[in-house]
Structure 1
Amino acid sequence: MNLRKWFFLFWTALLIGAAGSLVTGLIMMLVNGERTNGIIDFLLYLLILFGSGVMISVYSQMGFFAYLILNYMGKGVFPKRGWQIVQLVLTVLALLDVMFLRLFVGGGRERLSDIVLGIIILAAAIVTAYVKVKKTHISAMVPTLFFMIAVTVVETIGVLRIDVNAATTFIVVPLLACNAYQMLILHKLVDGSAEQAVSGRTEQA
């Protein structure tokens, strides 16, 4: 990946994060029946949503490049099949963690929102993995599921500690959009040899 392609990924991911934040924020405002005090307040609200989406996108990109480094190191430590098994195990643990951990830690409190969050992340991961496999190769399925589930869960730990459903929704939706976009466009930005080095796939980009 050269500098020009990296800039393309950076700015397009920023736009996706901003758009996702704007759409999510406006929908939440309509659903909650909230109103702003005039056009100035509304424009300021849009500006805040835009800025928040940009920051979420940057956070997503940090996680994405951290994953690429982790993937590279994992393939150097484990055999190919072993690294896939490790990713699957970590993916399942991360999903169970976000869905049920606070249920047990919270002393039996009902945590339906956590289960719904886990289902949403799982559904987004399955759709992204399906599209990725269709565009590349079946070997892309495990890395995509790992990134979309395990890495997304790690990225949402901070907002989960706040324990406010609206805040979680506002962060997770644009975060999933940015993560899915980066994973789906990766093979278009790197050549065949780099793709093999990054994700272990055998096909040409």
Structure 2
Amino acid sequence: MNSRKVVFIFWSTLFISSVCGGIVGVFLNWDVYVGNGMTNFIVGVIWMIGLGAAISVVAQMGFFAYLFLHRFGLGLSKTHTLWNRIQWILIVFVYFDLVYFRYVAYAKEGESFFGYMIVPTLLFVYGVLIAWVKARETNQVAFVPALFFMFVITTIEWIPALVANDAKWLAIYITPLLVANTWQLLLLHRLIKKPA
């Protein structure tokens, strides 16, 4: 991995996630940005793209932090098996927290506990799909770290929106996060692959 590849990861991730975040943000705020003149719409688009870019930078910091954490975990545990078990425990812990603490903090009287399982389950299923692709393109050992990154690290990066607990902000925030994290995870092995 050289500096040119690091720069490519940074700018490509920033571009793709800001555009996707901007599109979703404008779509979810369509009534705010349309109908009050072209200037309002242009400023709204720029604002949403800028917000997507800022969230992308958070995702990139999380990605490089996880690369360090993963190597550190492997160094401490000496085997993939032990480190994978630790990651599975943390995945289950974060899933429980994402369901239970949001339910305790935000549930209104009569609201079902199972309703708070939908978003974490969808995020987990998405993480499994991306981890499966990663493992298929590299090796089976990559499955658990990829799932951990896509589920646990994404959840940590998503905390500002989770605290706000507004459906619109949850969607606006998670879009650039998922796009950035998916792109980085599936791009990394292609960039560091040794030529045949």
Residues 159 and 167, structure 1, Cα contact 8 Å, conserved in 2 = yes
CA deviation string 1:7-45 (max 9, x = no partner): 100000001111121221132134xx4434111110000
SS of residue matched to 2:29: helix
TM-score under structure 1 normalisation? 0.86
User: Which consecutive residues of structure 2, in runs of 5 or more, have no partner in the other structure?
Assistant: none
- Call closer, same or farther: CA 1:80–1:134 in 2, change over 3 Å: closer
Residues 80 and 141, structure 2, Cα contact 8 Å, conserved in 1 = no
Work out the number of aligned pairs and report it.
192
Greater than 4 Å deviation, 4+ residue runs: 105-109
Q: Could you tell me how far 1:124 is from its partner in structure 2?
A: 1.8
TM-score under structure 2 normalisation? 0.89
Q: Name 2:39's counterpart in structure 1.
A: 40
Q: Name 1:200's counterpart in structure 2.
A: none
User: Which consecutive residues of structure 1, in runs of 5 or more, have no partner in the other structure?
Assistant: 193-203
CA deviation string 1:85-111 (max 9, x = no partner): 001111111122112222134577536
Determine the C-alpha separation between the residues in 2 that align with 1:130 and 1:81.
18
CA deviation string 1:138-177 (max 9, x = no partner): 1111011000001011111122111211111110111011
CA deviation string 1:64-117 (max 9, x = no partner): 000011001100111321000001111111122112222134577536664232
Determine the C-alpha separation between the residues in 1 that align with 2:118 and 2:60.
25
Q: Name 1:59's counterpart in structure 2.
A: 58
Determine the C-alpha separation between the residues in 1 that align with 2:15 and 2:106.
37
Q: Name 1:132's counterpart in structure 2.
A: 134
Confirm whether residue 119 of structure 1 aligns to residue 118 of structure 2. no
Within-5 A mapping of 1:172-191: 172-191=174-193
SS of residue matched to 1:101: helix
Q: Name 2:168's counterpart in structure 1.
A: 166
Does 36-45 or 94-103 show the bigger shift?
A: 94-103
Cα root mean square deviation, aligned: 2.1
